[in-house]
């Protein structure tokens, strides 16, 4: 306690009377804390400063917490100490008042913890414990608490006690500010950690974006390379096909040339033999009057000469045949080497080996055909030897009797000429009959109808068994030209239940159990008309899933069967003197546009194709 002398000095110093300190009744005039504007935290949109990771600039003036942390300087003079405390009290009161009107502090400096105090508080502030308060609100609360404590605990003239209470409040406020600063540093560390993680995630995102762009570029390059490889593959396939065709054509021409040479040589030998026989016959007739011995000697001499010539000619022909055989073997070996080399080159290609193998098989078939033709040439050689034996028999016959030989030779020659005439007449008659057959066949086809419509009913699939239509074929055992579709039940006005049947007639109806072979037997006559030189068109139409592709393009479909019949018939007619030249195209009609499937896809938009009526008529 301060002695009375000091109290007297205080009164004498002219201090303001204690009546200026707010009385306790001032708090009773204030409203409840939940309706007090000073107790409500400011809106969030009024914040003028937000926390960030950047360093804060130094404040222009010290805050209340900094000033509260500075202990007041005490003096030995009681009067001066009391004055300083009084001034500090006034400054605190002014500062507290300023806090209520100052701007809100940054969020990082907001107080999140309140220290429990043993000082009494009014009942109106008990509702603030459940929600956070701002610094300005806490300062106001402390001011109100101080103003309510001082009149209750201290006398108005007890400035020392009041200053001690104020220092206690300062120490509490400082501890709160320290805890807030600690929390702020922790939050700043967390923010820095999150920023580091964000930067790492951004780097990872950039790396992934770069990798994605790289993969996209590689994918585009791979697609370009794949397109180039496919183009090269198509070019190699086309060039290989051309080479095989050239080789096949060359081998065929060589065989035909060899056959022509052999035939010409055989004809020449026959002519020479006939000339020689004529000369021998004339010589024999001229020498008939001579002595029989002289005639026999001359005939024997001629026989020896003819035999020598025949032997020489035979040896020469055998050598020619051997040379032809050797040349053919060399050509065959060369062709096989070329095919083998092409086969090795095509081993690196993908799934296109099947087509190349088919070409190789056709080349092997051609080789077999060449072997057969070589066998035929050998047969012709044997025929030549037989002719030589016949000539030898004729020479022997000349030795027996000149007159009989001459007459027999003339008879044989006449028979041969007659046989040749009969053969020529038969060939001419065969051509005429073939021409007549074609005309009659075409007339039969025209009588059947130039436009014929067939109907094929495919069998129902497993999931369609319950949905299939009810069909009947009334003339299935006779002409098979009608099909009846049974409609739904209809009830008449009299209550009679009937079924509406729809009858359809066609040139031919094929039931669900019919096979492709039966259908082709019906249209094979049209294929024969195409071979006879008439224009024929066969096409299949129907809804999706009705079996068009199976009917036309399967292994035993109409297109493969028609191609097989065309080539078999053309080959069989070669022996009768007929030759065929064939050309083909492979197009599709898509949205009324004709596309050449054997051409390049990039030329489809540049080249326009049209389907026109063939002006050629037979």
pLDDT for 273-326, tens place per residue?
A: 788 778 877 776 776 667 667 767 777 787 788 888 878 887 887 888 878 778
Q: Is 186 a known ligand-binding residue?
A: no
Judge whether residue 215 has pLDDT over 80: yes
The answer to whether 544 is a known ligand-binding residue is yes
Q: What is the pLDDT of residue 98?
A: 41
- pLDDT value of position 259: 82
- Say whether pLDDT at 180 is over 90: yes
Residue 97 corresponds to which tokens in the numbers above?
């008042």
Task: Identify the band that residue 80 occupies on the pLDDT scale cut at 50, 70 and 90.
Answer: very low
| pTM for this prediction | 0.33
Given a cut of 60, is residue 564 above it in pLDDT?
yes
Q: What is the pLDDT of residue 471?
A: 86
State yes or no: pLDDT of 179 exceeds 90. yes
When pLDDT is cut at 50, 70 and 90, the band that residue 401 belongs to is low
Mean pLDDT is lowest, of 55-64, 235-244, 419-428, for 55-64
* C-alpha to C-alpha distance for 196 and 199, rounded to whole angstroms: 5
Q: Are 407 and 398 in contact (CB under 8 A)?
A: no
- Mean pLDDT throughout 99-117? 38
**Long-range pairs for 368-377 at CB < 8 Å and ≥24 separation?**
370/251, 370/255, 370/328, 370/332, 373/255, 373/259, 374/325, 374/328, 377/258, 377/259, 377/262, 377/321, 377/324
Q: What is the pLDDT of residues 123-164, one digit of tens each?
A: 333 333 344 444 444 444 444 444 444 444 577 788 888 888
Q: Is 547 annotated as a binding residue?
A: yes
Average pLDDT (461-485) is: 81
What is the spatial distance between Cα 331 and Cα 554, in angstroms, rounded to a whole number? 38
pLDDT, residue 576, reads: 74
Read off the pLDDT of each residue in 399-425 and give the average, rounded to a whole number. 74
Mean pLDDT of the chain: 73
Confidence (pLDDT) at 146: 43
pLDDT band at 183 (very low <50, low <70, confident <90, very high): very high
Residue 442 clears pLDDT 80, i.e. is over it: no
Residue 185 has pLDDT above 80, yes or no: yes
Other C-beta atoms lying within 10 Å of the C-beta of residue 536: 15
Domains in the chain with CATH codes: 4-41+60-207 (no CATH), 230-448 (no CATH), 454-574 (3.40.850.10)
- What pLDDT digit, counting tens, does each position of 3-38 carry? 444 444 445 555 555 554 444 444 444 455 555 555
Encoding tokens for residue 146? 């101080």
Joined tokens for residue 414: 């006449």
Q: What share of the chain has pLDDT > 70, as a percent?
A: 67
Which pLDDT band holds residue 595 (cuts at 50, 70, 90)?
confident
pLDDT tops 50 at residue 111: no
Question: Does residue 605 carry a pLDDT above 50?
Answer: yes
Q: Would you say residue 535 has pLDDT above 60? A: yes
Q: What is the pLDDT of residue 88?
A: 44
pLDDT of residue 68: 60
The answer to whether 549 is a known ligand-binding residue is yes
Helical H runs in 114-158?
Answer: 135-153
pLDDT at 175: 93
Measured in degrees and rounded to the nearest 5, phi and psi for residue 351 equal -90, 15
């Amino acid at each position: 306690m301060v002695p009375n002398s000091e109290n007297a000095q205080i009164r004498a110093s002219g201090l303001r009377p204690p009546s200026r300190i707010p009385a306790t009744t001032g708090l009773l005039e204030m409203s409840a804390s939940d309706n007090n504007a000073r107790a409500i935290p400011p809106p969030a949109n009024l914040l003028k400063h937000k926390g960030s990771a950047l360093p804060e600039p130094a404040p222009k003036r010290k805050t209340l917490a900094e000033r509260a942390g500075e202990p007041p300087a005490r003096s030995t003079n009681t009067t001066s100490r009391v004055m300083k405390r009084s001034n500090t009290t006034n400054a605190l009161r002014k500062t507290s008042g300023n806090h209520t009107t100052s701007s809100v502090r940054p969020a990082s400096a907001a107080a999140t913890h309140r220290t429990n105090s043993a000082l009494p508080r009014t009942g109106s502030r008990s509702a603030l414990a459940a929600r956070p308060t701002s610094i300005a609100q806490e300062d106001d609360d402390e001011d109100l608490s101080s103003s309510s404590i001082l009149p209750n605990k201290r006398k108005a003239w007890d400035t020392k006690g009041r200053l001690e209470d104020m220092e206690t409040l300062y120490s509490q406020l400082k501890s709160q500010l320290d805890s807030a600063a600690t929390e702020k540093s922790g939050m700043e560390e967390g923010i820095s950690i999150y920023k580091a993680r964000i930067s790492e995630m951004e780097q990872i995102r950039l790396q992934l974006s770069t990798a994605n762009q790289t993969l996209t570029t590689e994918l585009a390059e791979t697609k370009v390379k794949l397109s180039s490889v496919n183009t090269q593959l198509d070019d190699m396939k086309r060039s290989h096909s051309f080479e095989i065709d050239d080789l096949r054509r060359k081998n065929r021409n060589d065989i035909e040339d060899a056959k022509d040479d052999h035939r010409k040589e055989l004809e020449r030998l026959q002519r020479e033999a006939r000339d020689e026989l004529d000369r021998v016959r004339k010589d024999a007739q001229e020498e008939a009057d001579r002595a029989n011995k002289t005639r026999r000697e001359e005939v024997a001499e001629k026989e020896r000469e003819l035999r020598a010539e025949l032997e020489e000619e035979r040896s020469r022909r055998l050598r020619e045949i051997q040379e032809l055989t050797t040349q053919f073997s060399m050509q065959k070996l060369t062709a096989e080497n070329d095919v083998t080399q092409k086969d090795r080159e095509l081993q690196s290609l993908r799934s296109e080996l099947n087509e190349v193998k088919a070409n190789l098989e056709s080349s092997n078939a051609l080789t077999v055909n060449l072997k057969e033709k070589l066998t035929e040439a050998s047969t012709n050689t044997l025929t030549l030897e037989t002719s030589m034996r016949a000539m030898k028999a004729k020479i022997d016959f000349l030795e027996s009797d000149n007159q009989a030989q001459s007459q027999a030779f003339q008879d044989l020659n006449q028979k041969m000429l007659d046989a040749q005439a009969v053969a020529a007449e038969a060939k001419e008659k065969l051509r005429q009959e073939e021409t007549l057959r074609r005309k009659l066949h075409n007339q039969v086809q025209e009588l059947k109808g130039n436009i014929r419509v067939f109907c094929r009913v495919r069998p129902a699939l497993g999931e369609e068994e319950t949905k299939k239509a009810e069909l009947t074929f009334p003339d299935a055992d006779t002409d098979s030209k009608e099909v009846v579709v049974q409609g739904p039940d209809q009830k008449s006005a009299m209550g009679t239940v009937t079924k509406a049947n729809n009858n359809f007639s066609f040139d031919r109806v094929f039931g669900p159990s019919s096979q492709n072979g039966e259908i082709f037997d019906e249209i094979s006559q049209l294929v024969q008309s195409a071979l006879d030189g008439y224009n024929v068109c066969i096409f299949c139409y129907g809804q999706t899933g009705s079996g068009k592709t199976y009917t036309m393009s399967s292994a035993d479909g109409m297109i493969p069967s028609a191609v097989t019949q065309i080539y078999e018939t053309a080959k069989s007619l070669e022996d009768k003197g007929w030759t065929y030249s064939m050309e083909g195209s492979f197009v599709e009609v898509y949205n009324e546009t004709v596309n050449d499937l054997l051409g390049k896809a990039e030329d489809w938009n540049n080249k326009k194709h049209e389907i026109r009526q063939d002006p050629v008529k037979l």
